[in-house]
Structure 1
Amino acid sequence: MTNRRIVIAGTESGAGKTTITLGLMAALKDRGWCVQGFKCGPDFIDPAFHTAVTGRVSRNLDTRLLGENAVKEVLDFGSRGADIAVIEGVMGMYDGADPLSDEGSTAHIAALTGTPVILVVNCEAQARSAAAVVKGFQLFSDQPRIAGVILNRVGGSGHYELVKAAVEKECSVPVLGYLKANTKLHLPERHLGLVPSQETKDLPAYIKRISSRISETVDLERLAELAVCPEPEYEPVLFRRRKGEERKGEGAKIAVARDEAFHFYYEENLDLLKSYGAECIPFSPLHDSRLPEEVTGIYFGGGFPEAFAAQLAENREMLRSVREKVENNVPVIAECGGFMYLCKKLVDMKGKAYNMAGVIEGNIQVHHTLQSIRYLDVTGNDISCVALEKGESLAAHEFHYSSFSGRMPDRNEFPNLFASYSHLHFGSCPEAAGRFAALCSPLNRNSN
């Protein structure tokens, strides 16, 4: 099969990357193509929209969380069986962790994987000047390769033709099409970015609308031609197992919180747990009354518990069920939103307090301003439930608008609990996933 993939990069945040990406995914799928989505960086919300459009779980490509080799492995692993991979960039094309290098940027991912770039340019209130913008992005670095341009927020077909002529003449790169300025193509936002796909009303109608617009004004055949590129070369590290390790988590039944309030997961974390023999069982803290009795571990990802605080608080049976499991020393990972759920109270932006599980003797206050955004490394001093060995660490990311006040439990109280604002990525240390799966296995517990 011909290998096809493209990176959708923007000249800046807000240029229209997500709109163009979703439109291309939808239009290609409507033509019978199997489309795989990816997102540069640690974002959870955009990949959920990709998944809703394509029907395939979108994955993150982040060199800080995974390293360069594993990024290429995730790209290859996730693309298997797809006709084309569409990789959505992050911020502006060259924006990353370091203002003096491309590290962690969309450009870095594109160059690392040898993927051609389609640059999205916001053409509102400019014509020939758009060519200068494209030229600047071309000359800034000889890697990656800008293979084509899509113009966003143009005034109409006449405006498009003016900009197209200027860009193609001055930059020698094809302009593949455009989208007109249209508020009906905007998705609603709130404090962490877009309102998640799980909460977006009339999402199927939106997908149909954006697919139609892209099909009318973008040359999909030419885009498919430009997307042809070699497969990435890498050494498999994520799912490679030493003999005898494949079933170390056999019998583990890990309850994974999945509903409107909790849905922020790096898919490789779940893949890795399964690869060690664990079973991942979805449950809803919002809608289910109790955890399944056979559960031997719990994984709470992040999400928006603050948006559903009243419903979570009203589901007292589930709160009691979770509390009982933690108190009985069932292994638990609770990241960000999950950490908030395990605390005593959650206080929303209006000052209203809601009772949560009460495992942690502290409260969460949601603020109007961002409290933390950072990468970090979690070490064995921070986490016990995955038994990090000396010299090992797990890469993680934080992005939250709330703060914690109170006392965190020590290891003697809950030795198998990890609760933090940090979103862990097992891809940075796959063995840690195996140890958590093994800790959740009743076979291992019974043998001790």
Structure 2
Amino acid sequence: MKIPRFMIAGTHSGVGKTTITTGIMAALASAGFKVQPYKVGPDYIDPTYHTMATGNKSRNLDTWILDNETVKKVFVKSASKADIAVIEGVMGVFDGSSGTVDQGSSAHMAKLIDCPVILIVDTSSMARSAAALVSGFLNFDPDLKIAGVILNKIGSERHLKLVTEAIETYCNIPVVGYVKKNAALELPSRHLGLVPTVEGGELPRMVNSLAGEISKGIDINKLTNLAMAAPELPDDILDTCDKDLVSGIDQCKTNVRIGIALDEAFSFYYYDGLEVLEEKGAELVPFSPLHDQALPENLDGLYIGGGFPEIFIKELSWNMPLMREIKLAGAQGMPVFAECGGLMYLSREIVDFDGKRYQMTGLVPGACIMENKLIGMGYVEAESLSDNVIAPKGKKTRGHEFHYSRIEPTENSNFKHAFRLVRSRYQQPILDGYANGCILASYVHLHFASDPELAERLIQHCNNFKKNRLRKCIDEN
């Protein structure tokens, strides 16, 4: 199977991966290529820039949350429909879930799909030393195919000449391009990273301008040639992975309608996870907690993902009609599944960075308190403490957390935590989230492609609610 592909990776976080990758994707799209974008790891925001640049949904390739076969399936299934696949790495190329193995890293992903890597080097305050840096990356893992280098933050033509000569002389690897120091190329960010493109504003213009700027210094033809030279992948990857993904009760197509929160405040979803829900029988019906006064009609469940509710906290608190309807739906037994920002929205109130309180939906008996430091970040293993709408008691699944808020249960509320989490960085167990009846809300971002049984269980709960709803309608008439 011929799939032209390359990965843009970095020596470290903050080296310019997202800006440069987005610019390259936009330049390729402008040149007429159908580009399929990807992001290594669990990040939600970087893929929104890829999607804006290419017009195609960017997908996450996470070798810690997903097993190897599922990751390959996610990649091949979508990449085989495009002219070229461009993958943005995560952190430094060798940084993953451990200090001693490469699982979860860009290197792991690149080796898994036999993908050539283009290494971005921040050349600030160095010249010949850049060759020593690149040499270290080349020799650290000989199995990783680093095929070229992009030089970022070049200060002058002489600087470019010195660094290029050093790398190509001592490392025997081509410099495929450079980007000059330019503050105008920096994408806007806030406490959780880049500003998501769903917020609009000047972001579309900025992304469009990246293509022109990147094309000035990066040889797009060299990149496409490297992509075309990528080894062929086995033809049976997709068939093998499909068999693994359609196990269980896959044939139970129940055709339930699940409302999914999608707007400027809520946009963090794994696209391949949503596809699993659809393949299992869910019709995903978008609604906006910011702009809609009522839920869509005839819903059988709600899915409220992550995002930035704290940024739109006033607007959310003003939309009382929708919050009352959501609370009533939960009280009537509609399955409601929420992740991170969704947990905050379902809480009794959010306390912002200045200590001001804003009323929220109230399905979760507690307040979400914003803090000026990270409360949780990284991979977690989540064990269900009781039966809930996606998992039975004791089931373990992998996910990711990244939040600046904490949940403070309401006094005397008999608050029931949803999960016992083990954080991969520290291994200490903590309690997280809230589960009671049809309500499940936590800080954990889960991926339905990691375990399709999670999606099947949610759909089954929604189907049970649908049957009860239809039976009630018949009785009333």
CA distance in 1, matches of 2:200, 2:162: 36
1:226 is matched with: 226
- Does structure 1 retain, via aligned residues, the 8 Å contact 2:123–2:152? yes
Task: Report the Cα offset of residue 15 of structure 1.
Answer: 0.8
1:438 is matched with: 460
Task: Report the Cα offset of residue 292 of structure 1.
Answer: 1.4
1:368 to 2:372 alignment: yes
1:60 is matched with: 60
CA distance in 2, matches of 1:127, 1:414: 59
CA distance in 1, matches of 2:381, 2:215: 44
1:236 to 2:241 alignment: yes
SS for the counterpart of 1:15 is coil
CA distance in 2, matches of 1:413, 1:422: 13
1:185 is matched with: 185
1:379 is matched with: 383
TM-score (normalised: structure 1): 0.95
2:24 is matched with: 24
Which deviations, in whole Å up to 9, do the C-alpha atoms of 1:211-254 show, x marking residues without a partner? 001212111111111113222663314874359733x2423000
CA distance in 1, matches of 2:11, 2:247: 44
1:292 is matched with: 296
Task: Report the Cα offset of residue 438 of structure 1.
Answer: 2.2
Comparing 380-389 with 94-103, greater Cα deviation is found at 380-389
Please give the residue correspondences for 1:338-357 in structure 2 after superposition, counting only pairs within 5 Å: 338-357=342-361
Task: Give aligned-pair identity as a percent.
Answer: 44
Which deviations, in whole Å up to 9, do the C-alpha atoms of 1:266-285 show, x marking residues without a partner? 11221011001110001000
RMSD across aligned positions (CA): 2.1
- Does structure 2 retain, via aligned residues, the 8 Å contact 1:138–1:146? yes
1:155 is matched with: 155
The 1:443–1:358 alpha-carbon spacing in structure 2 relative to 1, beyond 3 Å, is: closer
Q: Which among 397, 400, 421 is matched to residue 400 of structure 2?
A: 397
2:173 is matched with: 173
Which deviations, in whole Å up to 9, do the C-alpha atoms of 1:411-443 show, x marking residues without a partner? 999412211111111122112212211221259
1:204 is matched with: 204
Comparing 437-446 with 31-40, greater Cα deviation is found at 437-446
- Does structure 2 retain, via aligned residues, the 8 Å contact 1:8–1:89? yes
The 1:413–1:22 alpha-carbon spacing in structure 2 relative to 1, beyond 3 Å, is: closer
- Does structure 2 retain, via aligned residues, the 8 Å contact 1:149–1:174? yes
- Does structure 2 retain, via aligned residues, the 8 Å contact 1:26–1:211? yes
- Does structure 2 retain, via aligned residues, the 8 Å contact 1:249–1:437? no
TM-score (normalised: structure 2): 0.89
Q: Which among 262, 268, 272 is matched to residue 268 of structure 1?
A: 272
Please give the residue correspondences for 1:407-446 in structure 2 after superposition, counting only pairs within 5 Å: 407=410, 408-409=415-416, 414-441=436-463, 445=467
SS for the counterpart of 1:64 is coil
Task: Report the Cα offset of residue 97 of structure 1.
Answer: 1.2
2:35 is matched with: 35
- Does structure 2 retain, via aligned residues, the 8 Å contact 1:379–1:388? no
Task: Report the Cα offset of residue 444 of structure 1.
Answer: 7.0
Task: Report the Cα offset of residue 80 of structure 1.
Answer: 3.2
CA distance in 2, matches of 1:382, 1:195: 36
1:146 is matched with: 146
User: What amino acid is aligned across from residue 224 of structure 2 in structure 1?
Assistant: A
Comparing 406-415 with 277-286, greater Cα deviation is found at 406-415
- Does structure 2 retain, via aligned residues, the 8 Å contact 1:36–1:58? yes
CA distance in 1, matches of 2:129, 2:435: 63
The 1:185–1:139 alpha-carbon spacing in structure 2 relative to 1, beyond 3 Å, is: same
SS for the counterpart of 2:60 is strand
CA distance in 1, matches of 2:131, 2:197: 34
CA distance in 1, matches of 2:301, 2:336: 6
The 1:379–1:154 alpha-carbon spacing in structure 2 relative to 1, beyond 3 Å, is: same
Task: Report the Cα offset of residue 406 of structure 1.
Answer: 0.8
CA distance in 2, matches of 1:410, 1:330: 19
Task: Report the Cα offset of residue 336 of structure 1.
Answer: 0.4
SS for the counterpart of 1:333 is strand
Comparing 411-420 with 219-228, greater Cα deviation is found at 411-420
2:325 is matched with: 321
- Does structure 1 retain, via aligned residues, the 8 Å contact 2:382–2:399? yes
The 1:444–1:342 alpha-carbon spacing in structure 2 relative to 1, beyond 3 Å, is: closer
- Does structure 1 retain, via aligned residues, the 8 Å contact 2:197–2:204? no
User: What amino acid is aligned across from residue 306 of structure 2 in structure 1?
Assistant: G
2:86 is matched with: 86
CA distance in 2, matches of 1:442, 1:417: 14
User: What amino acid is aligned across from residue 233 of structure 2 in structure 1?
Assistant: E
CA distance in 1, matches of 2:375, 2:320: 29
CA distance in 2, matches of 1:399, 1:83: 34
Comparing 155-164 with 137-146, greater Cα deviation is found at 155-164
Q: Which among 308, 311, 315 is matched to residue 311 of structure 1?
A: 315
The 1:358–1:249 alpha-carbon spacing in structure 2 relative to 1, beyond 3 Å, is: farther
CA distance in 2, matches of 1:413, 1:217: 53
1:281 to 2:285 alignment: yes
